[in-house]
Amino acid sequence: MRNVHGLVFLLLLFLSTIAMAQRDECLGDYTFKSGEYITYRAVYNWGFIWLNAGDVFFSVSDTTYNGEKALHLVSKGWSLKEYDWFFKVRDRFESIIDTVNLKPYWFERETSEGGFETYNRYVFNYEKGNVDIISKTSKRAFKRDIHKLSGCTFDVLSAIYYCRNLDFDNRKPNEKIPLRMVIDNEVFDLFLRYKGKEKLELRSGEKYNTIKFSAMLVEGTIFKGGEDLTVWVTDDKNRIPVLVEAKILVGSVKAILTGVKGSKYPLKEVKF
């Protein structure tokens, strides 16, 4: 059970590695709209053992930022009540992004995982060309870091929605795609590897045509690093992640799609 802690952060790291091609401009077309609401079940899997661990949701709504129209992204996750006594998780992530190019303006993370608390707040200043970071943990007092912005730099939540807009038609199998993201109080240059298209059937029986990726993770966070993470997203106009899997020392941790409301385009299962 300890390996499934940090449900939202874990899932955000998974989903934000879907695909991010570095460009000079952060441009993207919407594959989503205000009112979209997606849910996932986090599970631990070892052979024939499937252990439900927690739930996560992602939502999109309209808001304003400095007097301008913006989008408010929210994700929250929690351990199931029957496991709270063992390892209680209550996580919240929020991001405010531009409605035109999806660049992040502001991000906040507040997580409590087994009694260990973490707080991050990022303010992206494009006029000054920097991101102002305030962070704190149970073991460290508040500190401030300022990093230069270079190319497209995202927090883990805004990255998900930007990445859902990329075109993969011209990608070749095993092609590496670089990505840049702020995690905690640092900026990381990572990459993912495009694995091609695959027909996927979930354990519950739903079937989807998907695009498949593996991703490099940050060593020293939840994982040891390397490409032990795989993501499947719908091969349609929505680009919704339906399954995320990460190998751990014993078995794997999975995030499985459980519900979609308010999607911009109908999400349909396929027959194969």
The mean pLDDT of 126-131, rounded to a whole number, is 94
**What's the CA gap between 175 and 74, in Å, rounded?**
31
Judge whether 35 and 24 are in contact, CB under 8 Å.
no
Q: Which long-range contacts (CB under 8 A, 24 or more apart) does 145-152 make?
A: 145/185, 145/186, 147/182, 147/186, 147/187, 149/124, 149/125, 150/180, 151/22, 151/23, 151/24, 151/180, 152/20, 152/22, 152/23, 152/25, 152/26, 152/103, 152/180
- pTM across the whole model: 0.85
- DSSP result, 155-221: -HHHHHHHHTT---TT--TT-EEEEEEEETTEEEEEEEEEEEEEEEE-TTS-EEEEEEEEEEE-BTT
**What's the CA gap between 12 and 79, in Å, rounded?**
16
The mean pLDDT of 120-134, rounded to a whole number, is 95
* Model pLDDT, residue 24: 39
The mean pLDDT of 187-199, rounded to a whole number, is 85
* Model pLDDT, residue 178: 76
What are the pLDDT digits (tens) for 9-42?
A: 556 655 544 433 333 345 456 789 999 999 999 8
Judge whether 116 and 143 are in contact, CB under 8 Å.
no
Express as a percent the part of the chain with pLDDT over 90.
40
- The pLDDT-based confidence of 256 (bands split at 50, 70, 90) is very high
* Model pLDDT, residue 130: 95
Q: Phi/psi at 47 (nearest 5 deg)?
A: 60, -120
* Model pLDDT, residue 20: 38
* Model pLDDT, residue 14: 53
User: Phi-psi bin for 254: left (phi > 0), alpha (psi -120 to 50), beta?
Assistant: beta
- The pLDDT-based confidence of 97 (bands split at 50, 70, 90) is very high
208 or 18, which is more confident = 208
**What's the CA gap between 94 and 65, in Å, rounded?**
13
Residue type, 126: Y
What are the pLDDT digits (tens) for 148-180?
A: 988 788 898 988 887 777 777 778 888 887 778
- DSSP result, 40-87: EEEEEEETTEEEEEEEEEEEEEEEEETTEEEEEEEEEEEE-GGGHHHH
Q: Tell me the C-alpha to C-alpha distance, in Å, between residue 199 and each of 167, 207, 210.
A: 19, 7, 6
Residue 7 has pLDDT above 60, yes or no: no
Topology annotation, domain 7-261 = YmcC-like fold (2.40.360)
* Model pLDDT, residue 227: 55
* Model pLDDT, residue 100: 86
